[in-house]
Amino acid sequence: MAYRKTGKVVAQLEANRTRILDAARALVFAGGFQAASMAAVAARAGVATGTLYRYFASREALLLDVFRAISDVEMSRLEDIAAGPGLPAARLRDVVHGFASRAVRGARQTYSLLAEPLDGALAEERLAYRRRHAAIFERLIREAQAAGEVASLDAHVTAAAIAGAIPSALTLHGPDNVPDADALSAAVLRMCGLDPYTDIISPSEELSHDQSA
């Protein structure tokens, strides 16, 4: 007769797995993925290093679960903003500002998710994560264009530029010397022909205003 785990055993196994994931996430937040060695995770979780392999086939498998858990939370927040009330351009501003603000507040986490050198499956997961960002921006840009709110832009290219600009700014400054969130989001929005504070303007209108000043 095959052994069947009791409810108590299943609950204990799940609690151990959660404790391991929490330990790995804390290490990533503090020092990046490079800080989350199996030995360090085991020590923080209060288990033997060998115990980790009962739950995760490899360090990469463990860190993939950590990456996905963190990125899913971040993407959910941006999707909620993007799907909120208001005109598309206003929601685009809110999403970009929300992305920039969270990136600046959690600069070390952002660096780990978007800029820290990674390879293998983690690098592929990061690329998928950045594409999810770009897809949100592209959708809102297209909605704003259809509503006549923004200038005619290549929505796909512009969305990719937005998705890359914020992590690139943090990478160039470094996680310990981050730019101001408002200034960062304002600069990114202007790339889209959006005024970050008041009315929505197109690049051609902005130029005509400059010439008439």
Token pair recorded at residue 114: 């978007």
- CA-based Rg of the chain, rounded to a whole angstrom? 21
Q: How far apart are CA 74 and CA 112, in angstroms?
A: 13
Would you state the pLDDT for residue 197? 63
Token pair recorded at residue 2: 């095959």
3-state SS of the chain is CCCCCCHHHHHHHHHHHHHHHHHHHHHHHHHCHHHCCHHHHHHHHCCCHHHHHHHCCCHHHHHHHHHHHHHHHHHHHHHHHHCCCCCHHHHHHHHHHHHHHHHHHCHHHHHHHHCCCCCHHHHHHHHHHHHHHHHHHHHHHHHHHHCCCCCCCCHHHHHHHHHHHHHHHHHHHCCCCCCCHHHHHHHHHHHCCCCCCCCCCCHHHHHHHHHHC
* Environment class of 154 (CB within 10 Å of its CB; exposed 0-12, middle 13-18, buried 19+): exposed
Which of 104, 109, 140 has the alpha carbon at shortest distance from 29? 109
Would you state the pLDDT for residue 204? 38
pLDDT bin (cut points 50, 70, 90) of residue 172 is confident
For the stretch 64-75, pLDDT in tens is: 999 999 999 989
Which of 180, 159, 158 has the alpha carbon at shortest distance from 169? 180
Which of 58, 39, 37, 59 has the alpha carbon at shortest distance from 47? 39
Average pLDDT over residues 189-197: 71
Q: How far apart are CA 179 and CA 177, in angstroms?
A: 7
Give φ, ψ of 116 to 5 degrees: -60, 135
Q: What distance, in Å, lies between the first and last C-alpha atoms of the chain?
A: 87
* Contact predicate 171/115, CB 8 Å: yes
For the stretch 200-212, pLDDT in tens is: 434 333 333 343 3
Q: Is the pLDDT of residue 192 over 60?
A: yes
